[in-house]
Amino acid sequence: MSMFDKTTKALEKSLDFMLLRQNVVSANVANAETPGYKAKKVDFEEKLSSALDLNGPNQMKSAAKGHFPVGHNHLNAITADVYDNPDVAMNNDGNTVDMEKEMATLNENSIRYKAATQLINKKLGKLKYAITGGR
């Protein structure tokens, strides 16, 4: 049995994906003046949510190695989708970076990252409390 539960693993995976999103959006901002640059987007929330639902009361298990990953280690197999952002308009020079949207995404991602970090810290604090017997 693992010392860390499904929530901790999901938070860890979320932090990894949010770091990726931060890097992709930062690259978009850095290339805002580059002619022909296509803004990228990162999506992972739906896959993460779906993977967490697989571990519910009727937990699924795969019967063969070729099956899709489910059960205990299914969170490890999740990947983020990075693709050209279809939600933005193209400028005259072919660039698709919308600075207002990119900055809003950076701010939202930063807030979510801080919240996930605080949740992990609280879970680790509870573990420390249990180990030390409340001392």
Give burial (CB, 10 Å; 0-12/13-18/19+) of 69: middle
pLDDT at 50: 82
pLDDT band at 56 (very low <50, low <70, confident <90, very high): low
Which amino acid, 82? V
pLDDT band at 77 (very low <50, low <70, confident <90, very high): confident
Span 95-134, pLDDT tens digits: 999 999 999 999 999 999 999 999 999 988 888 888 888 7
Q: Find the helix packing angle between 6-30 and 99-132, rounded to 10°.
A: 150
Global pTM? 0.77
Q: Is the pLDDT of residue 1 over 60?
A: no
Residue spans of the domains in the chain: they are 6-132
Q: Is the pLDDT of residue 58 over 60?
A: no
